[in-house]
């Protein structure tokens, strides 16, 4: 089973969802990411889990930017790099060529 965590209005998430037939889509803004998945993703990807090029990141104060990544993503789900894909127990972050090759 494949679950894609992202935003419904994100072009990259839409491309990934289109390529991953039968994948379940979870809108992180509306539904969030389960804590267990978020913790596993943080263990695997570390600070790369936060999208520091996003509009959300740019609107954060310097003080907020120094907070732990998981705390920031819990407070601002759109700050998570997208998509986060869970497939057969493995996690993939982003929709780069390596992720595409592994999943399509």
Per the annotation, the verdict on 10 as an active-site residue is yes
Calpha distance 5→98 (Å, rounded): 18
Output the pLDDT for position 58: 92
Output the pLDDT for position 37: 92
Name the catalytic one among 4, 10, 13, 38: 10
Output the pLDDT for position 54: 87
Output the pLDDT for position 104: 80
Output the pLDDT for position 32: 87
**Which two tokens mark 99?**
């992720």
Q: Which residues of the chain have pLDDT under 70?
A: none
Please check whether residue 83 is in contact with residue 6, taking contact to mean a CB–CB distance below 8 angstroms.
yes
């Amino acid at each position: 089973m494949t679950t894609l965590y992202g935003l419904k209005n994100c072009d990259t998430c839409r491309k990934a969802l289109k390529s991953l037939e039968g994948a379940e889509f979870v809108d992180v803004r509306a539904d969030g990411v389960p804590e267990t998945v978020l913790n596993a993703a943080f263990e695997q990807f570390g600070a790369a889990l936060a999208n520091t090029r996003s509009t959300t990141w740019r609107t954060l104060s310097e003080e907020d930017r120094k907070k732990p990544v998981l705390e920031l993503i819990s407070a601002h789900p759109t700050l998570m790099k997208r998509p986060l894909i869970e497939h057969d127990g493995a996690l993939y972050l982003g929709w780069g060529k390596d992720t595409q090759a592994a999943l399509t």
